[in-house]
Amino acid sequence: EVQLVESGGGLVKPGGSLRLSCAASGFTFSSAWMSWVRQAPGRGLEWVGRIKTKTDGGTTDYAAPVKGRFTISRDDSKNTLYLQMNSLKTEDTAVYYCTTKIVYWGQGTLVTVSS
């Protein structure tokens, strides 16, 4: 059974940093493109970014609102996806989901950016 479990969310001040993790199991993680999608409270879904497999170059793509501030990485030896978030803004407050193939989703982790 495919499982994605996000962690690392919490309360952080504007300008601060946070690193989210997504632990994957039940599939061959190293062969999977992985993505982060977020959802602000009471709002719709927004793509954050994605990372390809090392075989496909391991490159990353980001949505404009987070480009230059967020970094997606992966550790295939640990079956774990990461989202490093720097220079956080209040508008980054959201539940952050990891997903693969946009079929399998984690339960999400809440990030609150507030002073």
By CB under 8 A, name the binding residues for another protein: 37, 44-47, 61-64, 97, 102-103, 105-108
Angle CA(112)–CA(72)–CA(40) in degrees, nearest 5?
30
Q: Which is nearer to another protein, 13 or 92 (CB)?
A: 92
Nearer to another protein, 46 or 76 (CB): 46
End-to-end CA gap in the chain: 40
Q: How far is the CB of 6 from another protein (least distance, A)?
A: 10
Positive or negative, the Cα torsion across 103, 5, 68, 59? negative
**Angular region, 78: left φ>0, alpha ψ -120 to 50, beta rest:** alpha
Closest CB 93 distance from another protein, rounded Å:
18
- Nearest approach, Cβ of 107 to another protein (angstroms)? 6
Q: Quote the least distance from Cβ 44 to another protein, whole Å.
A: 5
> What 8-state DSSP symbol labels residue 46?
E
